[in-house]
């Protein structure tokens, strides 16, 4: 049986689902690999290290939230209100993801070095 090619998208989707379900603390190469249905080797081949993976995950999660916001933009009278309401909805329904994106210091380079 030929080996299945593991893509960046597969790994990022696996990591995103872990964050959404269990929070950032659940992220490990082994947990992501298990979720993606692969060994840890493709994760390190694709991203180099966990710090790089989490940086890519942050961008991937922001794109997910942008799509989420577009999905809900019709629920408010204008774009400004729609964005605000979508973020409130996200905090309520996707608490782990909201904390990962907005309540941790991922994009502060100094703090990021301390976390990963």
Q: What is the pLDDT of residues 37-92, one digit of tens each?
A: 999 999 999 999 999 999 999 999 999 999 988 888 888 888 888 888 888 999 99
Q: Is residue 2 included in any domain, yes or no?
A: no
Look at residue 84 in the predicted model and tell me its pLDDT: 86
The number of domains in the chain is 1
3 — pLDDT class (breaks 50, 70, 90): low
94 — pLDDT class (breaks 50, 70, 90): very high
Q: Is the dihedral of CA 107, 113, 115, 116 positive or negative?
A: positive
Look at residue 111 in the predicted model and tell me its pLDDT: 47
Q: Is residue 13 included in any domain, yes or no?
A: yes
Q: Is 104 helix (H, G, I), strand (E, B) or coil?
A: coil
Q: Is residue 114 included in any domain, yes or no?
A: no
Domain that holds residue 12: 8-106
Of residues 10 and 110, the one with the higher pLDDT is: 10
The secondary structure of the chain in percent helix, strand, coil, rounded to multiples of 5, reads: 75, 0, 25
Q: Is residue 1 included in any domain, yes or no?
A: no
- The answer, yes or no, to whether residue 21 has pLDDT greater than 60, is yes
Q: How far is 73 from 100, CA to CA, in rounded Å? A: 22
Look at residue 109 in the predicted model and tell me its pLDDT: 45
- The answer, yes or no, to whether residue 10 has pLDDT greater than 80, is yes
Q: Is residue 3 included in any domain, yes or no?
A: no
Domain of 43: which CATH number? 1.10.357.10
Q: What is the pLDDT of residues 95-114, one digit of tens each?
A: 999 999 998 876 554 444 44
Q: Is 1 helix (H, G, I), strand (E, B) or coil?
A: coil
Q: Is residue 37 included in any domain, yes or no?
A: yes
């Amino acid at each position: 049986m030929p080996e299945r090619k593991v893509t960046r998208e597969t790994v990022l989707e696996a990591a995103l689902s872990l964050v959404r379900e269990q929070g950032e603390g659940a992220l490990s190469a082994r947990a992501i690999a298990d979720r993606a249905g692969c060994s840890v080797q493709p994760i390190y081949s694709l991203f180099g290290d966990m710090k790089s993976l989490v940086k890519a995950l942050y961008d991937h999660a922001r794109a997910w939230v942008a799509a989420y916001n577009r999905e809900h933009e019709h629920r408010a009278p204008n774009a400004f209100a729609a964005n605000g309401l979508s973020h409130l909805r996200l905090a309520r329904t996707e608490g782990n993801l909201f904390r990962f994106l907005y309540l941790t210091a991922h994009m502060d380079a100094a703090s990021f070095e301390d976390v990963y």
